[in-house]
Structure 1
Amino acid sequence: MLSQLLADHAALHRALGYKFRTPGILLRNFVAFAEHRGEDVITTATVREWAQQAPSPEQQRNRLLTVRRFAIGLQAADPRHEVPSADLFGRATRRRRTPYIYSPEDIRQLIDAAHRLGPDQSIRPLTYATMFGLIAATGMRVSEAIAIRLPDVTDDGLIIAQTKFKKSRLLPLHPSTGRALDGYLTTRLKSSSQSDALFISHQGTPPAYPTVITVFLQVARSISLRGAPGSRGARIHDLRHTFAVRSLERCAHDAQAVARHITALSTYLGHVTPM
């Protein structure tokens, strides 16, 4: 019974564009645990016992909240399902990390430092300077920047075809951003790379995600945006946060205007729901 309910639940989420990987694994584990006990409905006691098998408080809470979301949907159709309290193990103490909001000078220094990367006479410095600038100017995800192909660059903007939620979108570009991208393309199209990726390394291949993060940290430390390895500081993902904050700062101070702006901004950033 629970197995079929889970199959229907997973199919619905995948139809909505979610990969449903980690939740799917956790819920299959929970359903097997419950069905082994002969249960065909969710009970708080079983959720508690199963979740407490996780090795850390954070993982226990993640298990709890994953099953809780599943139970909320099931209870709407069958009130026999119990929805465990989100505070079953106490209130969460972990808080989302406060993002670093870049100043225009920070971004300029970041791009300038990327231009100073080696090897000399290679496309690598221009690749990272343009990539970091593009992320700052559009708020796109790092993974989206890496995934852009040459045909995705159009007169109307960038086509973001490989998104987190499998929803393609068009990103219009500011004229200054367009000019910077055109400058990069002049060099990129002269390369002998066999890849159609927009951003390539000096070896002619698209940079891997961990490589981009490593290069960003190197560049950020060179201009004191980051401290020594192991210390906290500005992250590349904070460029996305900065874009959203600066965009909202420029919005008219009116509740309805802000609401409309947030809806448009969420679409531009590729969120599935308003922020």
Structure 2
Amino acid sequence: MKPAALGSLVRRYVEHRRSLGYSVHACDLRKLLQFACFHHSEAPGKPLQAEVMLKWAVLPGTGNANYYAKRLIDVCGFARYCATFDPQVQIPDCRLLGYGHDRVAPHIFTSRQITLLLQRARNLSTKCSPIHNLTYETFLGLIACAGLRTGEARALRVADFDAKNRTLIIRKAKFSRERVLPLHPTTARALQRYLDARLPLAPDAPWFFITATTAPCRPVIFAQPSSDSTRALSPPAPAPRAFMTCATPSPHAMSPNGTAPEFLPGAISCC
């Protein structure tokens, strides 16, 4: 297969993935184009060869096992796409070099732990912004009671919140699926209270949760808890620098004073 034809297939494959809602970045496109050139140099004029894919995946020879595995997984996806046009294309087992990541077991926060996290957010010692503490307290409370991922919460805009109908529009969702999220009345009141404090400081900033520079709120990172807080947490606290995310919606509601959720059975995980 000529490099120009293979490069054209790479671009068609990337557009196909994007049309299905997957995020394919410029570096991913560049990586596949590099593979196309490598395959042409190793097996000019031939359909995709499994041996060549494996040889390319372990280049340049200085990476780790996850890096090699991820390269093979990426090129196997491209090979499966090419096989729909050419039955002679070889598709190796994409797990030959591993899974490409070391998945950390999620930590399920208890109601008591989340309440403690909100208290710590409320008492943060910082001079970044007059609403810095309120921003992170509301941010954590929202992902706990509404089941949002941190990326979805950070991408929220002021226009996405409808206080009258108590809804949020989630635009930056997984696989780019937009959805409307109903809110508990106490959650809607807590968000409105945050907006009342935030809008006078940055009325033109489109983002819902902002930093002192009016940029979107940064990802939430938790340090290792102190011995006192560790004793207060049961089961043990999550590992250091763990990102707090919510994989599934849960029917938590923020309390009327907005300081801690009224927790009902649900799932909030740290992974």
- TM-score tier by shorter-chain length is 0.7 to 0.9
2:166, 2:10 → 1: CA distance?
42
Q: Which runs of 5+ in 1 are unaligned?
A: 252-275
Alignment partner, residue 98 of structure 1: 105
In structure 2, relative to structure 1, the CA distance for the partners of 1:10 and 1:244 (3 Å cut) is farther
In structure 2, relative to structure 1, the CA distance for the partners of 1:185 and 1:32 (3 Å cut) is same
CA displacement 1:197-252 (0-9 Å, x = unmatched) = 22223x3513453xx43xx425x6364499xxxx9347333x41475699xx969x
Alignment partner, residue 32 of structure 2: 27
**Residue 95 of structure 1: CA displacement?**
3.9
Partners of 1:71 and 1:82 within 8 A in 2: yes
Partners of 1:100 and 1:235 within 8 A in 2: no
Amino acid at match of 2:175: F
**Residue 172 of structure 1: CA displacement?**
1.1
State the SS of the aligned residue for 2:175. coil
Q: Which runs of 5+ in 2 are unaligned?
A: 253-263, 267-271
How do residues 119-130 of structure 1 correspond to structure 2 at under 5 angstroms? 119=126, 122-130=130-138
Alignment partner, residue 108 of structure 1: 115
**Residue 164 of structure 1: CA displacement?**
4.8
1:93, 1:161 → 2: CA distance?
28
Partners of 2:166 and 2:184 within 8 A in 1: no
Partners of 1:126 and 1:184 within 8 A in 2: yes
Partners of 1:160 and 1:171 within 8 A in 2: yes
CA displacement 1:104-159 (0-9 Å, x = unmatched) = 11111111111112447921111110001111112222222222121111124111
Among residues 214, 222, 231, which one is paired with 1:217 in the alignment? 222
1:133 aligns with 2:110: no
The number of residues matched between the two structures is: 238
- State the identity as a percent: 29
1:197 aligns with 2:202: no
Quote the RMSD (CA, aligned, Å).
3.2
Amino acid at match of 2:222: L
1:47 aligns with 2:53: yes
Alignment partner, residue 13 of structure 1: 17
Q: TM-score, structure 2 length as denominator?
A: 0.75
How do residues 121-270 of structure 1 correspond to structure 2 at under 5 angstroms? 122-154=130-162, 155-201=165-211, 203=212, 205-209=214-218, 212-213=219-220, 216-218=221-223, 221=225, 223-224=229-230, 232-233=239-240, 235-237=242-244, 239-241=245-247, 243=249
Q: TM-score, structure 1 length as denominator?
A: 0.74
**Residue 58 of structure 1: CA displacement?**
1.5
2:99, 2:161 → 1: CA distance?
43
Partners of 1:100 and 1:233 within 8 A in 2: no
In structure 2, relative to structure 1, the CA distance for the partners of 1:94 and 1:126 (3 Å cut) is closer
2:120, 2:166 → 1: CA distance?
30
Partners of 1:101 and 1:241 within 8 A in 2: no
Amino acid at match of 1:196: P
Amino acid at match of 2:54: R
Alignment partner, residue 58 of structure 1: 66
State the SS of the aligned residue for 1:77. coil
Hey, which of these two has a bigger chunk of helix by percent? 1
In structure 2, relative to structure 1, the CA distance for the partners of 1:243 and 1:236 (3 Å cut) is farther
Hey, which of these two has a bigger chunk of strand by percent? 2
